[in-house]
A and B are shown apart, each in its own frame.
Chain A
Amino acid sequence: NAGVTQTPKFQVLKTGQSMTLQCAQDMNHEYMSWYRQDPGMGLRLIHYSVGAGITDQGEVPNGYNVSRSTTEDFPLRLLSAAPSQTSVYFCASRDQGRNEQYFGPGTRLTVT
């Protein structure tokens, strides 16, 4: 199993540009989440999904959209990038019947 994969690893955007961060998992996990981590800080939840077709907001959802059309994929869309969205983004997944989350390697995003 590849586990949780994220692409791209690095990305630089200009203010106002849009892009999609990709996340995929091959463990057939129902739950998937997106977090952001600013320098020297902990992780904050952006959006999460409890299954295909179901998404909900986390702590810091503004400026981001998600969709969950398949169990495997959970893309995160930045609608109009702002410098405040410069951060490292982590995707995670979890099996419904278990407690531990599995995290991807992260995407490092810089908005200039």
Chain B
Amino acid sequence: DAKTTQPPSMDCAEGRAANLPCNHSTISGNEYVYWYRQIHSQGPQYIIHGLKNNETNEMASLIITEDRKSSTLILPHATLRDTAVYYCIVRVAYTNAGKSTFGDGTTLTVKP
């Protein structure tokens, strides 16, 4: 599984868009980008995933660059409840995690 790089922490004002970057320059052609988040002490929660097209669901949007070497998770109107650690993971779809890990993620703090 490709390795990902995320900034350790970010702040965002409540009501504004939160843009969380992820670098995955060694991604392979059949690997998807997944995003999860972990609110303090809870189990991680799935947010969204994509291959090469931009994706949107009720929680967030995922923008993947044309060369697929990086992506951005967008929370359009961040709330205090979005404060969490956000993990970017790259792996082949429809397979188990294999030997991949969640890495250290980005701690997003939404401030009033």
Contact = CB atoms under 8 A, between A and B. Distances in A.
Interface string B49-66: 100000000000000000
Nearest to A49: B96
B71 to A, nearest CB: 15
Contacts of A99: 32, 34, 46, 49, 93-94
Interface residues of A, number: 28
B42 A59 contact: no
Nearest to A100: B46
A44 B101 CA distance: 5
Nearest to A45: B97
The B interface, classified by DSSP as helix, strand, loop or mixed, is loop
B100 to A, nearest CB: 7
A75 interface: no
B42 A106 contact: yes
Contacts of B29: none
A105 to B, nearest CB: 6
A58 B97 contact: yes
Nearest to A43: B102
The residue among A42, A100, A104 with the most chain B CB atoms within 10 A of its own CB is: A42
9 contacts: A42-B102, A43-B44, A43-B87, A45-B98, A48-B97, A59-B100, A99-B34, A99-B94, A102-B46
